[in-house]
Amino acid sequence: MNQVAGDDDMREHLIRTIKRVLVALVCITLIIVLVSGWHTIIGWIDHPVSRVTLSGEFENLNEQSVRQHLAPYIGVGFLNTDLRALKQHIEQMAWVKRATVKRVWPGEFDVQIEEQQPVSYWNETGLLNAQGELFTPPNMDKHLSLPALRSKAHASEQERLEMLNLLVYIQNELAVFKLQIVQMEQGLRGDWVLRLDNGIKVILGRIDLASNELRSLDNKLERVGKLLMKDAVINIETVLSLDTRYPNGIAVEWKETGKNMK
């Protein structure tokens, strides 16, 4: 009896093993069929992209140029298109700050574009946005109503942002006196020079961007503002430059004589 019982157990174990193997083979076969046929299924239900919808407020971007840039994606597979690659392709355009791309069934891409907003020129190479990010449009318009920020030393994005913040700070201080900055330049030694819209050069000297002590700078700007006010006792049109690197005064260089007066 024990021998018969043992044979039955072995037979049942063998049957269970065969069933497991068959189930595994069936699952593997189904996976192979699905994987190999997936592209065929996608190709069957996929549609070519026939339309791109653009949205966003465009001031410097040309919609026709954007559509020409997107032309390679017209007619491609709606489901097979890599949206991340499409997004990166759009953001390669100089005036595009950020792009969002969505699929709209059955064959449309919805593209939302945030345009770059320049706040300053940077050297001769490009423009800066409010985050200090540099972008370089082709055939850059050099007659925009923007101040020019210049540095003779290489500057990182963080350093450009700090310089831009300094420019904004100084401009706000001078705006009280109706003065406008046309250009602000940092030399190799870190000294700063302004060019105002009235043509006058203002030498500020070194400014510690990391310091919270701006009293000295405020005093310099206040002296400049009061000296160049409309009711000032001097003739502004005869002033060539102002040097503020003095503790309690300003050195004035006159156009005609080229001499300085403190």
Strand partners, 252: 242, 261
**DSSP letters for 140-180:** --TTSS--EEEESS---HHHHHHHHHHHHHHHHHHHTTT--
* pLDDT score of 31 more than 90: no
pLDDT of residue 154: 83
* Angle made by CA atoms 166, 170, 176, in degrees to the nearest 5: 155
User: For 124-158, how does the pLDDT look when each residue is reduced to its tens digit (9 = 90+)?
Assistant: 889 999 999 999 998 888 889 999 999 988 888 89
Q: What is the pLDDT of residue 239?
A: 92
pLDDT of residue 5: 53
For position 44, what pLDDT does the model report?
A: 55
User: Which listed CATH number (3.40.50.300, 2.60.40.10, 3.40.50.620, 3.40.50.11690) goes with 118-261?
Assistant: 3.40.50.11690
Euclidean distance between CA atoms 69 and 172, whole angstroms: 40
**pLDDT the model gives residue 150:** 95
H-assigned helices in the chain: 2-45, 63-69, 83-91, 157-175, 215-227
- pLDDT band with cut points at 50, 70 and 90 for residue 77: confident
pTM over 0.85: no
Residue 69 has pLDDT above 90, yes or no: yes
What's the pLDDT at 262? 52
Q: What is the pLDDT of residues 33-66, one digit of tens each?
A: 455 554 555 555 677 888 999 999 999 999 999 9
Options 3.10.580.10, 3.40.50.970, 3.10.20.310, 3.60.20.30; which CATH number does 51-115 get?
Answer: 3.10.20.310
Cβ distance 167 to 217 under 8 Å?
Answer: no
pLDDT at 124: 85
DSSP annotation of 116 reads P
Identify the band that residue 82 occupies on the pLDDT scale cut at 50, 70 and 90.
Answer: very high
Give the pLDDT confidence score for residue 207 in this predicted structure.
Answer: 85
Q: What is the pLDDT of residues 189-222, one digit of tens each?
A: 889 999 999 999 999 998 876 666 678 899 999 9
| Average pLDDT value for residue range 232-244 | 87
Rounded to 5 degrees, φ, ψ at 103 are -85, 140
